[in-house]
């Protein structure tokens, strides 16, 4: 089942990158597709992530910086990162203070590509 | 200093790196690539702080434990940034933490992070001499000898523990939280977080405690039948530490594999020191030596 493969991709990212506490995939209109958030409300997360992605893309375009690679939010207690999956979906990732950002940059691209293929 | 490289050294390649840096009195960063990897910050050959995704640093410990409130931290941080002064002194001046308490906390985090780096895998490391860039440096820093002895001691203890720092995802046994009086301090907190997703490292971050202390606590709880390992983190490299460290009696490294002196000291400092190629201490020492002395040795004094 595509959905189980989707969840496996999300869990694999959590396995590979130290400090990832959860992930979720949502549609661009903010509806949850699959979640592995470990407690964070997935519906709220999906809605906010879709909005954050849309805003970040507009911000990047306004600044003339080209294609958005990642929208990252760093707080005193952790990280949230949002990625575009094609034109239809969004990946949101939660991490703690120790999130291995260097490794996340290396690994996230492949995960986004794999998820995009699964959602086709 | 008398450098003895023991054959059965538990700490692995970082032992040599720290000893060489200590002898050279190096200041700057030692970048460690691996799982979890990180950056060891050095001042005059002593370890003043370690950044690693594998262990919570002083900021996490102070904030998560509510020892220092977030507004207080932010105010002190801004004040220190404005004056260019050290954050530690600012925290103490504002009465947010005692100077002795801060020192103990910083020692603890350095020892914990060093233990985590050494218990994981080390692919390579490289020295980057330069200014010290760490938010809360230990002053004076931890001596290499002490830190290595403490790390070796902890690694020996780790061998007898049921869980590895970032491998075992632990889960509370059903009904464990109802054990009531049998639960020691902090155990109910751990049970609430042990949902089968978190490794000891994840729990340490969530609790704002050291990884080593968390491992000891988890071992006691394992023994008491309160929790079990639910699964292993797939990304964890089993036995990586042992393979990363050249085996006893291993083949001698070809001499042409050693780092060579270069006319460009900056390029030299950036050079990666591959594992198993650091046995020739004088050559490595040259690599780690502060720039002025290295230039003088190379006859390139301006």
Q: Which of A72-76, B8-12, B62-66, B216-220 has the lowest mean pLDDT?
A: B8-12
Mutation site for B-interface testing, chosen from A11, A18, A96 by largest number of B Cβ within 10 Å: A18
Q: Is residue A77 within 8 angstroms of chain B, CB to CB?
A: yes
Same domain, B221 and B266: no
CB B167 within 8 A of CB B240: no
Is position B108 within any domain?
Answer: yes
Question: Which has the higher per-residue pLDDT, B237 or B278?
Answer: B237
Which residue on chain A is closest to B198 by alpha carbon?
A21
C-alpha A48/C-alpha B233 separation (Å) is 29
- pLDDT tens digits for B192-202? 999 999 999 99
| Predicted confidence (pLDDT) at residue B276 exceeds the cutoff of 80 | no
Confidence band of B6 (pLDDT split at 50, 70, 90) = low
| B6 belongs to a structural domain | no
**Looking at CA atoms only, how far is residue B44 from chain A in angstroms?**
27
- Shortest CA gap A37–chain B (Å): 10
Q: How far is A7 from chain B (nearest CA, A)?
A: 14
Q: Is A97 on the interface with B (CB under 8 A)?
A: yes
For residue B169, is it left (φ>0), alpha (ψ between -120 and 50) or beta? beta
Q: How many domains is chain A partitioned into structurally? A: 1
The pLDDT > 90 percentage for chain B reads: 61
* Closest CB to A15 among B54, B55, B234: B234
Average pLDDT over all residues of chain A: 94
Per-residue model confidence (pLDDT) at position A49: 97
- Which H or E run contains A42? helix A42-62
Helix H or strand E encompassing A49: helix A42-62
More confident residue, B286 or A4: A4
**Same domain for B172 and B107:** no
Q: What pLDDT does B1 receive?
A: 54
Same domain, B88 and B195: no
pLDDT per residue over B238-252, tens digit each?
Answer: 443 433 333 333 333
B38 and B123 in a single domain? The answer is: yes
pLDDT at B294 over 60: no
Domain containing B218 equals 168-232
| Helical spans, DSSP H, in chain B | 13-24, 58-64, 70-83, 87-93, 99-119, 144-158, 187-193, 200-207, 211-223, 240-244, 265-270, 281-288, 291-297
Look at residue B169 and tell me whether its pLDDT is greater than 70.
Answer: yes
Q: How far apart are CA B84 and CA A104, in angstroms?
A: 32
In chain B, which residues have their Cβ closer than 8 Å to the Cβ of A99?
53
Report yes or no: A37 and A24 within 8 Å, Cβ to Cβ. yes
Tokens of B45: 């050959």
User: Cα-atom radius of gyration of chain B, to the nearest Å?
Assistant: 21
**Residue B82 confidence (pLDDT) above 80:** yes
Which residues of chain B neighbour A38 with C-beta distances below 8 Å? 195, 197
- The verdict on residue B241 lying in a domain is no
Check residue B55 and give its pLDDT. Answer: 97
Nearest neighbour of A99 by CB, restricted to B35, B53, B234: B53
Domain-located, residue B237: no
Q: Is B100 helix (H, G, I), strand (E, B) or coil?
A: helix
Asked if pLDDT for residue A78 goes beyond 70, the answer is: yes
Residue B240 in domain: no
Per-residue pLDDT, B153: 95
Same-domain check for residues B217 and B70: no
Helix (H, G, I), strand (E, B) or coil at B36: coil
Tell which of B232, B261, B288 closes a domain: B232
B148 shares a domain with B21: yes
Residues B224 and B259 in one domain: no
Whether residue A32 has pLDDT greater than 50: yes
Residue B81 placed within a domain:
yes
For the entire predicted model, the pTM comes to 0.81
Handedness of CA B245, B272, B54, B211 (dihedral sign): positive
In this structure, are B20 and B138 located in the same domain?
yes
Instruction: Say which residue, B55 or B179, is predicted with more confidence.
Output: B55
Structural domain of A95: 2-119
A21 to chain B: which residues are within 8 Å by CB? Answer: 197, 202
State whether residue B54 sits within 8 Å of chain A by CB. yes
CATH number at A87 reads 3.30.450.30
Which residue from A21, A97, A103 is facing B60, i.e. has the nearest CB? Answer: A97
Per-residue confidence band for B301, with pLDDT thresholds at 50, 70 and 90: very low
Q: What is the dihedral of CA B4, B10, B11, B17, to 10 degrees?
A: 30
Do residue B137 and residue B30 come from a single domain? yes
Mean pLDDT of chain B: 80
Paired residues of B171 in beta bridges:
B195, B228
**Are residues B34 and B152 located together in one domain of the fold?**
yes
Concatenating the DSSP letter of every residue in B263-294 gives S-HHHHHHS-EETT----HHHHHHHHS-HHHH
- A18 in reach of chain B (CB within 8 A): yes
Q: How far is A100 from chain B (nearest CA, A)?
A: 5
Burial state string for B172-204 with b = 16 or more CB within 10 A and e = fewer than 16: bbeebeeeeeebeeebbebbebbeebbbbbbbb
- Kindly state whether B67 is in contact with chain A, defined as any CB-CB distance less than 8 angstroms: no
The span from the CA of A38 to the CA of A45, in Å, is 12
Residues in A touching B235 (Cβ below 8 Å): 15-18
Is A18 in contact with B56 (Cβ distance < 8 A)? no
**Number of domains chain B contains:** 2
> Does A76 lie at the interface with B, CB-CB under 8 angstroms?
yes
pLDDT of residue B183: 77
Between helices B13-24 and B144-158, what is the axis angle to 10°? 170
Chain A contact present for B33, CB below 8 A? no
Assess whether B148 and B29 both reside in one domain: yes
What residues of A are in contact with residue B34 (Cβ under 8 Å)? none
Q: Are B46 and B189 members of one domain?
A: no
Nearest C-alpha neighbor of B242 from the set B174, B159, B302? B159
Q: What is the pLDDT at residue B3?
A: 54
Of B54, B56, B57, the CB nearest to A18: B54
Is residue B301, in this structure, part of any structural domain at all? no
R_g (Cα) of chain A, nearest Å: 13
What proportion of chain B, given as a percentage, has pLDDT over 70? Answer: 74
Buried b (16+ CB within 10 A) or exposed e, A3-22: eeebbebbebbbbbbbbbbb
B272: pLDDT strictly greater than 50: no
At residue B2 the predicted structure's pLDDT band, cuts being 50, 70 and 90, is low
Give yes or no for A74 touching B (CB within 8 A). no
Res. B268: pLDDT tops 70: no
Q: Which of A78-92, B211-225, B238-252 has the lowest mean pLDDT?
A: B238-252
Q: Does any domain span residue B110?
A: yes
Residue A48 in this model has a pLDDT that exceeds 60: yes
Look at residue B260 and tell me whether its pLDDT is greater than 60. no
pLDDT at B283: 46
List the one residue out of B109, B213, B225, B126 whose CA is nearest residue B165. Answer: B213
pLDDT of residue B262: 36
């Amino acid at each position: 089942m595509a959905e189980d493969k989707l969840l496996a991709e999300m869990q694999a990212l959590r396995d590979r990158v130290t400090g990832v506490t959860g992930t979720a995939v949502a549609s661009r209109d903010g509806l949850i597709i699959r979640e592995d958030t470990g407690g964070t409300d997935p519906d709220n997360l999906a809605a906010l992530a879709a909005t954050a992605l849309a805003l970040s893309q507009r911000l990047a375009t306004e600044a003339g910086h080209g294609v958005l690679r990642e929208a990252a939010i760093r707080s005193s207690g952790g990280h949230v990162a949002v990625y575009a999956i094609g034109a239809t979906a969004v990946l949101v990732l939660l991490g703690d203070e120790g999130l291995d950002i260097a490794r996340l940059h290396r690994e996230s691209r492949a995960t986004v590509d794999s998820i995009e293929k699964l959602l086709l | 200093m008398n450098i003895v490289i023991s054959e059965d050294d538990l700490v692995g390649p970082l032992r040599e790196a720290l000893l060489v840096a200590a002898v050279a009195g190096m200041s700057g960063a030692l970048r460690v690539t691996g799982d979890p990897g990180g950056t060891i910050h050095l001042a005059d050959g002593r370890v003043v702080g370690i950044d690693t995704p594998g262990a919570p640093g002083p900021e996490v410990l102070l904030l998560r434990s509510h020892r220092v409130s977030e507004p207080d931290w932010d105010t002190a941080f801004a004040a220190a940034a404005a004056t260019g002064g050290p954050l530690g002194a600012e925290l103490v001046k504002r009465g947010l933490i005692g100077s002795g308490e801060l020192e103990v906390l910083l020692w603890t985090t350095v020892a914990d992070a060093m233990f985590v780096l050494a218990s994981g895998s080390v692919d390579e490391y490289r020295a980057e001499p330069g200014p010290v860039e760490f938010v809360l440096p230990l002053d004076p820093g931890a001596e290499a000898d002490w830190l290595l002895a403490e790390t070796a001691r902890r690694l020996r203890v780790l061998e007898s523990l049921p869980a590895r720092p970032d491998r075992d995802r632990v889960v509370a046994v059903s009904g464990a939280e109802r054990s009531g009086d049998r639960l020691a301090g902090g155990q109910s907190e751990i049970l609430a977080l042990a949902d089968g997703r978190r490794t000891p490292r994840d729990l340490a971050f969530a609790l704002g405690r050291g990884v080593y202390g968390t491992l000891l606590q988890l071992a006691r709880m394992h023994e008491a039948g309160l929790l079990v390992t639910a699964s292993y983190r797939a990304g964890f490299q089993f036995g990586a530490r042992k393979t990363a460290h050249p085996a006893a009696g291993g083949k001698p490294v070809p001499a042409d594999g050693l780092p060579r002196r270069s006319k460009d000291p900056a390029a030299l400092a950036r050079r990666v020191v591959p594992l198993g190629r650091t046995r020739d201490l004088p050559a490595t020492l040259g690599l780690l030596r502060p720039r002025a002395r290295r230039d003088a040795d190379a006859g390139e004094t301006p």
